[in-house]
């Protein structure tokens, strides 16, 4: 039986059982899609009206992934589709019809970066062939919260292997298990990493939402290159348990969406104190299960915002967009204060040292969590696997794994010293100092440059970025589209103090609503 014939039979059954007012069709054109740019609120309104069912919506996204991502343009943003997605959708349809709404994401398809554990029929690979058959023993905290909120975990997204902390001269969006992810605006361009597949899937309308993870730049950079919204929350706002780690100090998951509102709805569904992640204990009394109250249209008026000028000067076309953004903010009653430095350069050295120590400790603990049948038991085995594999070291090395493996444990004097200096340098003498000195509500900077051409030989060609101050301090950062350069999107970042998500949401939402810089990708070859 053909896939199309099977689909028609399923659709007919759903039509009879759910009695929608109008049967929807699912065009297979790349840019003409009935559900293009849908938002959560629009979906919930349509479900109430009976315009379509959750199962129909889910099938449409599955078909689109198969047509555009797996075939057609071969975006390679998706590693695996959840074989149970349609069954889950049908169950959610029954609940919806009975008036049983699980939460704010009921019936919403979402894609997870494939370093986030799911206890189902999908492996969690971190993009590595070493974990191609690794099935975690339980859901990550993030997956658990998403299911509780009613989301459909539609698929697992490709990523820069091991979250882009494996070796030198890597290409963002490349993994041994799924190859190179492509940018949906211009296919020869790079999606940035390491949450590359998550960013592409959202931008290309293969899903409503995606979850990425960031250690330094891995949510905001793919959001920049793919023209979407990304929220990198304060470390501890969302649990990291069940996520393949790099750094206990800097790692965090976060939502990626086409609108600030959708990202904010998802953010509230993910927060919570998790005893498996001690960082979340710090969020008590500082988090909200509903951040939509901060979606206000006049959130710019009266704000004092610092312009991080160190992020300027590397790309005059990006500078032009940033200057236009500053002028716009001033027109809305924002006071702009220029700041040339946030943290001292040596903070970068401390951050890298900490990442190496915590990477070794975190990976070894993660492998233990997979139980006695884990395909890889420790970092030594992973390194050996890569040496003997025909694909893994084809384009770049595993130098960071080797460096991490030489480090001692987290009780070492060197680690504790670096951690102390990072915390003080990035926080007290970094963002906190600057914001106190100038009485700032937030800091802004261009998120990055337009997407560069993918180069598997020489690796990434970053020209600029502004993720480090928020990443190294563990503080929040929201990026929103601020324009484009020759059709390639560029974002603006709003970041600030720990737990300042509410004020950043006010600013980001107000800016987004007044500018509407999101553009739909057209999958150009050049």
Q: Which H, E and C letters describe 120-179, residue by residue?
A: CCCCCCCCCHHHCCCCCCCCCHHHHHHHHCCCEEEEEECCCHHHHCCCCCCCCCEECCCE
DSSP code per residue over 314-334: S-HHHHHHHHHHHHHHHHTTP
Residue with tokens 């597949």: 197
SS3 309: helix
- Strand intervals (E) in 233-375: 252-257, 304-308, 335-339
Peptide bond into 349 cis (omega under 30): no
Enter the pTM of the model. 0.94
Burial of 21 (0-12, 13-18, 19+ CB in 10 A): exposed
What's the sign of the alpha-carbon dihedral 148, 154, 158, 161? positive
**Length of the chain measured in residues:** 526
Q: How many CB atoms lie within 10 A of CB 198?
A: 40
Whether 113 is catalytic: yes
Whether 411 is catalytic: no
| CA–CA separation, 241 and 328 (whole Å) | 41
What per-residue confidence (pLDDT) applies to 5? 33
Read off the DSSP letter of residue 427: I
φ, ψ for residue 111, nearest 5 deg: -110, 140
Axis-axis angle for helices 85-97, 3-18 (nearest 10): 10
The tokens describing 359, both together, are 């990477």
SS3 90: helix
φ, ψ for residue 249, nearest 5 deg: -80, -35
Are 219 and 235 within 8 A, CB to CB?
Answer: no
The tokens describing 177, both together, are 């298990």
Out of 194, 196, 198, 247, which one is annotated catalytic? Answer: 194
Whether 172 is catalytic: no
Axis-axis angle for helices 141-148, 260-270 (nearest 10): 110
SS3 364: helix
Are 213 and 113 within 8 A, CB to CB?
Answer: yes
| CA–CA separation, 449 and 489 (whole Å) | 9
Residue with tokens 């206890």: 119
Out of 11, 53, 196, 218, which one is annotated catalytic? Answer: 218
CA angle 109, 81, 481 (to 5 degrees): 50
pLDDT in tens, 363-384: 999 999 999 999 999 999 999 9
Nearest to 75 by CA among 212, 225, 189: 189
What per-residue confidence (pLDDT) applies to 2? 40
Are 521 and 339 within 8 A, CB to CB?
Answer: no
CA 339 and chain centroid, separation? 28
What per-residue confidence (pLDDT) applies to 30? 55
Mean pLDDT by 10 residues, the chain (526 residues): 36 35 41 91 98 98 96 96 98 98 98 99 98 98 98 99 98 98 98 97 98 98 98 99 98 99 99 98 98 97 98 97 98 98 98 98 98 98 98 98 98 98 98 98 98 98 96 98 98 98 98 98 94
pLDDT in tens, 407-448: 999 999 999 999 999 999 999 999 999 999 999 999 999 999
Q: Is 169 left (phi over 0), alpha (psi -120 to 50) or beta?
A: left
Are 279 and 243 within 8 A, CB to CB?
Answer: no
Are 386 and 177 within 8 A, CB to CB?
Answer: no
Are 168 and 399 within 8 A, CB to CB?
Answer: yes
What per-residue confidence (pLDDT) applies to 526? 85
Out of 46, 53, 77, 113, which one is annotated catalytic? Answer: 113
> What are the chain's domains?
3-515 (3.90.1300.10)
Residue with tokens 């009485």: 439
Distances (CA, A) of 409 to 175, 326, 440: 28, 46, 39
């Amino acid at each position: 039986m053909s896939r199309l014939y099977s689909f028609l039979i399923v659709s007919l059954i759903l039509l009879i059982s759910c009695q929608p007012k109008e049967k929807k069709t699912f065009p297979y054109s790349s840019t003409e899609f009935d559900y293009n740019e849908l938002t959560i609120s629009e979906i919930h309104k349509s479900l109430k009206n009976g315009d379509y069912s959750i199962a129909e919506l889910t099938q449409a996204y599955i078909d689109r992934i198969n047509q555009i991502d797996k075939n057609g343009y071969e975006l390679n943003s998706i590693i695996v589709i959840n074989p149970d997605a349609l069954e889950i959708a049908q169950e959610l349809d029954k609940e919806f019809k009975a008036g049983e709404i699980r939460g704010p994401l009921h019936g919403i398809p979402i894609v997870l970066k494939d370093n986030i554990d799911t206890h189902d029929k999908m492996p969690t690979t971190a993009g590595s062939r070493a974990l191609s058959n690794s099935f975690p023993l339980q859901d990550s905290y993030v997956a658990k919260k998403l299911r509780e909120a009613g989301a459909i975990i539609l698929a697992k997204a490709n990523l820069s292997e091991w979250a882009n902390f494996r070796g030198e001269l890597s290409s963002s969006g490349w993994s041994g298990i799924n190859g190179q992810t492509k940018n949906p605006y211009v296919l020869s361009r790079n999606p940035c990493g390491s949450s590359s597949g998550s960013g592409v899937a959202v931008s290309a309308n293969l899903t409503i939402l995606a979850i990425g993870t960031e250690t330094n730049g891995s949510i905001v950079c793919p959001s920049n290159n793919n023209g979407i919204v990304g929220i990198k929350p304060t470390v501890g706002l969302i649990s990291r348990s069940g996520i393949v780690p790099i750094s206990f100090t800097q790692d965090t998951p976060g939502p990626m969406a086409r609108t600030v509102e959708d990202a904010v709805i998802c953010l509230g569904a993910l927060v919570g104190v998790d005893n498996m992640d001690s960082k979340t204990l710090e969020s008590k009394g500082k988090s909200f299960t509903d951040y939509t109250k901060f979606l206000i249209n006049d959130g710019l008026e009266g704000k004092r915002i610092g312009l991080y000028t160190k992020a300027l000067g590397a790309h005059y076309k990006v500078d032009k967009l940033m200057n236009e953004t500053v002028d716009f903010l001033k027109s809305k009653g924002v006071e702009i204060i220029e700041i040339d430095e946030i943290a001292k350069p040596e903070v970068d050295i401390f951050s890298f040292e900490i990442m190496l120590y915590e990477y070794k400790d975190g990976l070894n603990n993660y492998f233990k969590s997979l139980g006695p049948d884990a395909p890889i038991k420790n970092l030594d085995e992973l390194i050996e696997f890569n040496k003997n594999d025909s694909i893994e070291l084809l384009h770049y090395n595993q130098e960071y794994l080797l460096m991490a493996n030489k480090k001692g444990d987290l009780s070492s004097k060197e680690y504790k010293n670096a951690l102390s200096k990072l915390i003080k340098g990035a926080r007290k003498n970094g963002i906190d100092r600057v914001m106190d000195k100038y009485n700032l509500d937030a800091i802004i900077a261009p998120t990055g440059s337009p997407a560069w051409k993918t180069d598997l030989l020489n690796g990434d060609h970053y020209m600029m970025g502004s993720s480090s101050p928020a990443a190294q301090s563990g503080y929040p950062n929201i990026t929103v589209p601020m324009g484009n350069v020759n059709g390639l999107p560029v974002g603006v970042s709003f970041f600030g103090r720990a737990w300042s998500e509410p004020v950043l949401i006010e600013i980001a939402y107000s800016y987004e609503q007044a500018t509407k810089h999101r553009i739909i990708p057209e999958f150009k070859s050049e």
